[in-house]
Structure 1
């Protein structure tokens, strides 16, 4: 039965007019998104909440350093999911799930964003009311509302009336969870308004309440109330209260895998508690809170046919959250979105689908290698769309959206690579629709995910050819050259100086490699490091990290670990110390530095790194895993030496170089005048 508590949701959200919400709605949102004839009611709600949250979101995510606190998580993680991405996720999960069981369904013609792929034929007796769909980070309900539309098409095709279908969808099909009360209120409202579109009496039907819930901390449940439950029931309820004591922070990642409780029995036991009319100790509040919590626990421990969500993106966790994630999700603890990927892929039944919109870093970098291993071994990546790097302006990270099937992979996945198409999410949408209309388009790929294991680190390199996969069978660079990360000073402002800030030949100060801008062959020699008394003061710093001392103050190859563009590698010429942003590489088998430098600065290396490290993060691990075949070539060594010499000459022609001698405008242009450039040491 719906209560006053439910109806208060419709009137408790008050938008702020001072932070530009209305202006944003008018100026920034596509007119189609608020066209009620095209379903724009939900878009209005979602964008309203997005802009309502803009100021607190910016305040939270711009905090330098520290973790996001519990009370700030909603503002930090609430992002409205673009309409076409919602449709892609639902069409290729719920829509495909139904078509697998009803191959003759006309639903196929109504799924505008279903990617071209093989659809299996599965025989079971699933009826519309048997379908279970959950969004366990539902925000303002956009995904659930579109799932409602798809379900309505299914019901109508099966002969139900729209009025009957609207009621059944809320009663039988849709489930949602959220940590943010305001977002939950909007989702509740949106679903009820969507249902009213088909059933005008739905608001007065006491049997119908959407299965959407907001997490609440259970600290307020008193011992006086819990003490009324004897034996195993009391133990179970105490455990549930403990598990949900920090529910507003943990939300859907609360781990209930070990709890095999009879939730209906626990709910009935709590309902059966008799509370006198005076209720001096407010036990009725305890009862209501515990009933809501048990209902959420029951929702969390069911299995679903489809789970679709845009999970929170957050790696700056406070101490309590980080400890919990490390305890229960060790292999996926780098970010909350990776926890959701793992958890939701297990939340669905065998043969069910989970769909996500997340940052695409999980596809490539080492931090998420265990997640990739799990997905490749246990899930089928059914389809994936990798968007252009800055397409989704609402997030500060590059985005992808993808659908997993809970089976061991047997079929090739369908992949769209949209990285070449700039212009925002509208352009990305148009390119998706083009690929659906023309599956032979050159940015649509089909590949077996087992191929990913052939590349070190198992990146989701779906656009790699067979020749590329075979290339990674040869020896890798780390068999000949050993890369090292260097010093973490603990206080750069104390220990690093530009070379011109210290006296020439000052004792204890040494050249220092720190990465820098794009530059090949030679350059970016700007810093000196204080290593007086063999680094005594630095070693005493609480946050210092003194790595690989035997390799410090050496000559080798360096590069910028984090780049805003293409990779670039340089020969240091001078003996140098180095850090993690400017790692160095040293020969361990007397191979020529010139030959490997030629390889690293080649188009071949750049192309191979597009598979290993397409996120512009050229960390040591990725570089070391490049395939590398040694083939000594004296002519090549000579050409690289010339490149280093001429690049050094260019670097030294400006006063910012410590080897500057004369401005180029004062030097003669004739080739013989290049002699003023010093020859690189050891070249």
Structure 2
């Protein structure tokens, strides 16, 4: 039985090589000798595959096969993916890019992207189309009818980071419906779609093979003879092109040889650059291919002429894909910002304004690949919508393109990624009509809940989390965040209000470069060596003290508090200022020192617990994480503190930057109405809140202004026997093993 199975297996594998050559390799003689299957072993893999899997699971007429392939491949890559993304500090190496960036796209997101790009493009051109009934995830919005003629065979949809082909396979199903509306048979439609409509690129060979397989199986669903035809999907994998022998160039004309050499040089880094490659000119690919195919090799082919021809033809096919324009480009691009030197240099040369992450490079690059009025759809981290790093990208899109629709997901909805996600569609049109935006940030429970809420808003657009707005409004907000839920009144406030940085002076502070060495909690050092009330650098120097209060941000707390740390600023911070690495380079950053020891209002860089801001007495130094704003006018600080701690503060900051890092730039853009500064009620209420919070803070033994536990105030004075809590804390601290280790290490 084993011998019979071996014979059938080899025959079948060789037959599959004939019909699916990009997936199955031909079994060679030595492979046949090494292949020793054991069919009869009940615990063997072959026996379990044949007998333990339900036949229905192989039924291609049922849904889910493509998604299963994609998930299997992603989890097959789990270990190398985890290894790469958990590397601290270093760049992602070329060989590790596929493992670092391979991320399977959830089915409903695929359907949203394709329905609102390819599907919408078709509906705009086909006034009598009924396909919208099959586009389950088409968001509510205006359909702009177009009268220009549309030849179905000319519609091209590209996924230039296709992974295992999920997007292209669903696009195949949508295209079939389009061909049916035009009267084509299923068999003819499948052949035409493979030959004309679908195009894909990938840097990972295994993912490319799965995409190729998935598309062939999808085509066979509609045309059972597709495997024996000469039609193959137009999907390609990047391969580094190197070591092309001189005999290849000698058989080419001088002009062709020069062009091929230049392209081979670029494609020597093909698996690293992938779909973001840029070309100096438009190449005549058919002419170049015709000359390459004429190259001859002798029978022995000792120089590998045949293999070189194959590499160059694959290269030319990819260049042809990259230099033409498309009606639709849909992809889930790679998320990566740890670039090796060569990739970093290439991105700086060609995409400098969008270099924050590889996904932002893809967003911009894919828009350049569109025909007029074409659509680009993406699934990416949503940070591009808000933070400073991607302001140039936002400005470019808002000024030159149309955000057709966007879905912002709940912060942790997509568990496969370590970043919050959104999915959106952009039209290559400067006409700024109303876009459709869905805000799912309040709905926890993972992608299944997000899916359900999208379908609900399509069914009932009045459910309350669908927004229709003109993107021109975004430019009225500093930094142009995609704040689609901003009300008309708030937009007006941004237009007429005074910027925060025109009222107070937000500044970053000291970066010690080694907090373990230079910081202590206040009770870890002698109180006699702490200067609590220095008003200036000169006063700190003359005090001859070593330790000074240090504002490190801290946990969520409003109005007052988080006085936890002191910093070694002895002799005007001499040790910190001169702190260097092994190469003698100064590592610390004592910036904005003229603001040290001044009163301030302060908030924490990390706002995962929500935004809160506090009053900070003069006498301390602020950290890069203890964001601070200063003013010569005390009441200005008080009024701004009151405004920021109101619900309005948190609401506006979640609009300017809904991530967990609130930067100085986000604070600067807050709009303030000048009339609030003459409102004495605001000043008095805010001062009262500060006092209440200060009393609360000082009731804890961990406050350096603690005097008495609040419960003791209820005991008759002659019965109170409270120990000196400061001495007790210091004594315990200095006896602890952790404290002794820090003293021994850092002094």
- Could you say whether these structures have the same fold, taking a TM-score greater than 0.5 normalized by the shorter chain as the test? yes
Q: What is the aligned counterpart of 2:590 among 517, 531, 546?
A: 546
Aligned residue in 2 for 1:210: 233
Asked whether the 8 Å contact 2:61–2:221 carries over to 1, the reply is: no
Superposed, 1:7-18 pairs within 5 Å as 7=21, 9-10=23-24
Q: Equivalent residue for 2:387?
A: 365
Asked whether 1:127 is paired with 2:151, we answer yes
Bigger shift: residues 378-387 or 213-222: 213-222
Q: For the residues of structure 2 that align with 1:667 and 1:224, how far apart are their CA atoms?
A: 97
**Native 8 Å contact 2:356 2:389 kept in 1:** yes
Counterpart of 1:22? Answer: none
Deviations 1:39-76 (A, max 9, x none): 21111101111211222222221222222222211111
Equivalent in the alignment of 1:570 = 614
Counterpart for residue 162 of structure 1: 186
Q: 1:299 to 1:229 in 2, by over 3 A?
A: same
Select which of 109, 113, 129 maps to 2:137.
Answer: 113
Kept in 2: contact 1:558–1:583 (CA 8 A):
yes
The CA deviation at 1:4 is 6.5
Q: Give SS of 2:136's match.
A: coil
State the match for 2:538 in structure 1.
Answer: none
Could you say which residue in structure 2 is the equivalent of 1:20? none
The counterpart of 2:508, out of the listed 482, 485, 495, is 485
Q: Which residue of 1 aligns with 2:535?
A: none
Following superposition, which runs of at least 4 residues in structure 1 exceed 4 angstroms of deviation?
2-6, 32-38, 588-591
- What is residue 179 of structure 1 aligned with on the other side? 203
- How far apart are the structure 2 equivalents of 1:33 and 1:610? 46
Q: CA deviation at 1:37?
A: 5.2
- For this pair of structures, how many residues does the alignment match? 651
Whether the aligned pair in 1 keeps the contact of 2:17 and 2:24 (CA below 8 Å) is no
Mapped partners of 1:454, 1:187: distance in 2:
44
CA–CA distance in structure 2, aligned partners of residues 82 and 34 of structure 1: 21
1:377 aligns with 2:399: yes
Shift in Å, 1:95: 0.5
Instruction: Return the offset for 1:231.
Output: 2.4
Aligned to 1:580: 624
Q: Does 1:399 align with 2:445?
A: no
Match of 2:571 in 1: 533
1:667 CA drift (Å): 3.1
**Is there any run of 5+ residues in structure 2 with no aligned partner, and where?**
1-15, 27-55, 530-544, 725-747
Give, in angstroms, the shift of residue 491 of structure 1.
2.0
- 1:279-678 to 2 correspondence within 5 Å? 279-473=301-495, 474-506=497-529, 507-540=545-578, 541=580, 542=585, 543-588=587-632, 591-630=635-674, 631-668=677-714
Q: Partners in 1 of 2:296 and 2:715 — Cα distance?
A: 99
Q: TM-score, normalised by structure 2?
A: 0.84
1:510 Cα deviation from its structure 2 partner: 1.7
Measured after TM superposition, the shift of residue 6 of structure 1 is: 5.5
Tell me how far apart the structure 1 counterparts of residues 573 and 18 of structure 2 sit (CA, whole Å): 68
CA distance 1:199–1:320, shift in 2 (3 Å): same
Structure 2 CA distance for aligned equivalents of residues 120 and 33 of structure 1: 42
Q: Distance in 1 between matches of 2:555 and 2:661?
A: 13
**Residue aligning to 2:270:** 247
Among residues 232, 252, 257, which one is paired with 1:229 in the alignment?
Answer: 252
Measured in 1, the distance between the counterparts of 2:156 and 2:223 equals 21
- Measure how far apart 1:508 and its partner are: 2.9
Report the aligned-residue RMSD. 2.3
Note if 1:197 corresponds to 2:209. no
Equivalent in 275, 280, 287 of residue 265 of structure 1: 287
More displaced stretch, 193-202 vs 318-327: 318-327
Provide the rounded CA distance (Å) in 2 between the counterparts of 1:367 and 1:304.
28
| Consecutive unaligned residues in structure 1, runs of 5 or more | 13-31, 677-683
Distance change >3 Å, CA 590–CA 569, structure 1 → 2:
closer
Q: TM-score, normalised by structure 1?
A: 0.91
Distance in 2 of aligned mates of 1:636 and 1:35:
70
Shift of 1:3: 7.5
Q: Displacement, 1:587?
A: 0.9
- 1:394 is displaced (CA, Å) by 0.7
CA positional deviation for 1:33: 12
Rounded to whole Å, the distance in 1 between the matches of 2:623 and 2:227 is: 63
SS at match of 2:281: coil
1:361-386 deviations in Å (ceiling 9; x for gaps): 11111111110000001110000011
Give the whole-Å Cα distance in 2 for the aligned partners of 1:301 and 1:592.
57
Superposed displacement of residue 96, structure 1: 0.6
